[in-house]
Amino acid sequence: MSTLLSLPLGASDGTLALQLAAMSNRHGLVTGATGTGKTVTLQVLAEGFSRLGVPVFAADIKGDLSGIASAGKTHPKIDERLAQIPLSDHSFEAFPTVFWDIFGQSGHPIRTTISEMGPLLLSSLLDLNETQAGILYTCFRIADDQGLLLLDLKDLKAMLHWMNEHRNELQVEYGNIAAASIAAISRRLLVLEEQGADEFFGEPALNIQDFLHTDFSGKGIINLLDATRLVHESPKLYCTFLLWLLSELFEELPEAGDQEKPKMVFFFDEAHLLFDQAPKVLRQKIEQVVRLIRSKGVGIFFVTQSPMDIDEDILGQLGMKIQHALRAFTPKDRKAIKAVAENFRENPELDTAATITELGTGEALVSTLDSKGMPSMVQRVLIAPPRSRIGPLGSDERNIIFSRSPLKGRYDTMIDRESAYEKLQDRAKRAASETPAPIKNDTPKRSRETAGEAFWKSAMRSVGSYLGRRLARGLLGSLSGRGK
């Protein structure tokens, strides 16, 4: 490995504390109570990675990270912090930023298709029970078998409606299909649509390579998702989107091996939402993705209030830990603080549990990985001030930066090409037109092949052909190895 690159983070006893960039794909954790400085720490880390030429993705939960696109200014509190920290090369500067917004209001819209999302993540998003999730898996299986593209919500709703109409024929091959389960899924889709998910599902779908650029000076692009509305109106969609994004990175990036710096760093803010009420199967998949994605050169930083918000199996994989202050108001709080302290490698000169409650704003307990991947002893660190602006951009400033985006026009207009909805409508019309009108006579009635039966027999003849080939899916159900 070449020379180790490092991130200036802050100072402890006058000595600069460094995070080795080569270890950043071993993931990290930033925790602390509200108002203790987590957002500024995230900003400092994002700046550091950008300066090293590493692209960054971060969600702007409170709307105050957008200032990273503008140079900071001198301020008495910043001057005071710099006087305490020996940062000889500190200067104010803006960082190259691309704004994203699922709703397309304050950034480039981000979309994926229903097929690319896959049944596992979609079942979690819709809070489906085991039976309902089984029906959704069946829906995807039938769509794959029949070559019907599920691109947007109307495709999925049309597919479920068709399954309901033909459930008697379908159950011969696919098992029982309960009308009540289809109705329950359809109702959940209506709720999801009201929350704005119809803006998220569709085309053009995001090309993950658009997150992996540097600017002309070699700085990594900071991709900033405006998540203020998303988290408040649909926290499930927020978490599902970020999980989908991780699965896309895992599926599309080649193996990287050991590198002097990561290919990309991904900040997962409000990470507790990821694990709240998540089914066991999804938790297992999350743990698997976190463990495997480091081989693709991607580092993940979870940001939340307490390490206890993170599943233990995932917590053990997070190499860098930055702990801001926690408050001990109740016996339960004190018990949690003791558990948090045990996550750090002990420093004989520091009472970790006591220090957690004494930290001021902008202070943190920090443990990093050394060049051999071993955790360092925990240190009390004063976090450096950002080089960019603390606080949000004004709307005019944001619009100017957005107007200069290199991705301008690439995702702005939604495309609605022929998919399951149109094909099912077309097949239904053709089947109806081919059904002969009934002949009135006195002869006994005989069973007649219905339009649905005719359609189903026609559809079944396609099995084994191109339409019958099923699509391969990756770890979290997104399509694996497919073209966009």
Give me the chain's average pLDDT, please: 84
Q: What is the pLDDT of residue 233?
A: 87
* Helix (H) or strand (E) run with residue 136 in it: helix 130-146
pLDDT band at 10 (very low <50, low <70, confident <90, very high): low
Helix (H, G, I), strand (E, B) or coil at 329: coil
Residue 74 dihedral angles phi and psi, to the nearest 5°: -65, 145
Looking at the DSSP assignment, which residues form a beta bridge with residue 383? 10
Question: What residue has token string 């580092």?
Answer: 299
Instruction: Write out the two tokens for 327.
Output: 């408050």
Q: Tokens 């390579």, residue? A: 209
- Which is nearest to 323 in space by CA: 348, 370, 274, 359? 359
pLDDT value at 391 more than 80? yes
Residue 8 confidence (pLDDT) above 90: no
Q: Kindly tell me the sign of the dihedral angle through the C-alpha atoms of 109, 115, 117, 119.
A: positive
| pLDDT higher than 70, residue 458 | no
pLDDT of residue 372: 72
Phi, psi of 108 (to 5 degrees): -60, 135
For residue 88, the model assigns a pLDDT of: 74
Q: What is the pLDDT of residue 166?
A: 92
- Asked if 218 and 449 count as a contact pair (C-beta separation under 8 A), the reply is no
Average pLDDT estimate for 284-307: 89
Q: What is residue 392's predicted lDDT score, i.e. its pLDDT? A: 94
**Rounded mean pLDDT, 136-158:** 94
Cα gap 275→279, rounded to integer Å: 9
The Cα–Cα gap between 232 and 239 comes to 12
User: Confidence class of residue 317 from pLDDT cuts 50, 70 and 90?
Assistant: confident
Provide the 8-state DSSP code for 149. Answer: -
| Residue that wins the pLDDT comparison between 1 and 210 | 210
6-12 and 379-383 strand pairing: antiparallel
pLDDT over 60 at 169, yes or no? yes
CA dihedral for 145, 146, 152, 153, sign (positive or negative) = negative
| 285 contacts 119 by C-beta, under 8 angstroms | no
- The Cα-based distances of 412 to 66, 105, 194, 212, 222 in angstroms read 20, 10, 21, 19, 19
Report the side by side order of strands in the sheet with 379-383: 15-20, 6-12, 379-383, 363-367, 320-323, 28-31, 298-304, 264-269, 56-60, 222-226, 97-100
Give the amino acid at 124: S
Residue given tokens 């596992």 in the structure block: 120
Give the pLDDT of residue 450: 46
pLDDT at 463 over 50: no
pLDDT digits (tens, 9 = 90+) for 43-96: 999 998 999 899 999 999 988 899 999 999 999 988 888 888 877 778 999 999
pLDDT of 341 above 70: yes
Exposed/middle/buried for 159, CB within 10 Å: 0-12, 13-18, 19+? buried
Is residue 218 over pLDDT 90?
A: yes
Is residue 14 very low, low, confident or very high in pLDDT (cuts 50, 70, 90)?
very low
pLDDT at 194 over 70: yes
Top mean pLDDT of 214-223, 329-338, 370-379 is at 214-223
pLDDT (average), residues 157-164: 96
Whether the per-residue pLDDT at 107 is higher than 50: the answer is yes
Please give the residue that has the higher pLDDT: either 291 or 89: 291
Pairwise CA distance, residues 151 & 171, whole Å: 25
**64, HSE (Cβ side, Cα atoms, 13 Å):** 12
pLDDT(152) > 80: yes
- Residue 442 pLDDT > 70, yes or no? no
Residue 15 has pLDDT above 70, yes or no: no
**Enclosing H/E stretch for 403:** helix 395-403
224 pLDDT tier (thresholds 50, 70, 90): very high
Q: In this predicted model, which residue has the larger pLDDT, 185 or 1?
A: 185
Query: Is the whole-model pTM more than 0.95?
Result: no
**CA–CA distance, 49 with 220 (Å, rounded to integer):** 7
C-alpha–C-alpha distance, residues 413 and 203, integer Å: 9
Map residue 399 onto helix, strand or coil.
helix
| Proportion of the chain above pLDDT 90, given as a percent | 47
